[in-house]
Structures are given as structure tokens and as C-alpha cells.
Amino acid sequence: MGDAKTRALTKTFILGGASALLYLILWLLSEHIMAYSQQGKWFFIIPIAIAFVFSAVHGAFTGYFWDVLGVKAKSVKK
């Protein structure tokens, strides 16, 4: 395997593990997160921040996943 392919595969596994870990943490702490976010004031930002973190990590994982499999978007010629 090439060096770039190995790096992409490593990043895929790391980001996949991070995504799974985030879901586990969310599941374990869901009651605490709900309690904090229902307090009012600026605490409503907590679930929004969590959504952004999940989006970034899972999106990066998905991008590397498809790259490792060799799936690329079709380019449109004008």
C-alpha cells in the first residue's frame, strides 16, 4: 500500500473511532446535557455546539471513508 493510502486509512480509523466515542459519550451523558440545556439563558448553545462537533468529526470520517474505498464525485465538464 502507498504511503498516502496508509495515512488516509489511519485517519479513517481514527475519525471513525472518534465518531463512535462521541456517540457513546452523548448516550452516557444525555440526561446531564438535557438538564444543562434546559436551564435557559445561553445554555441553549450546548446542543448546537454538540451538533457542530458531530458534524465536523463525522463529516471528516465520511470523506476519508469514501476516499479509501476509491469513490470520487463525477466531475461535470462545461
The C-alpha atoms of residue 75 and residue 78 are separated, in whole angstroms, by 10
Domain boundaries along the sequence of the chain: 3-69
pLDDT digits (tens, 9 = 90+) for 20-78: 999 999 999 999 999 999 998 999 999 999 999 999 999 999 999 999 998 887 888 87
Give 12's pLDDT tier (boundaries 50, 70, 90): very high
pTM of the prediction?
A: 0.80
Nearest in space to 17 (alpha carbons), one of 57, 69, 59, 68? 57
Handedness of CA 59, 60, 61, 63 (dihedral sign): positive
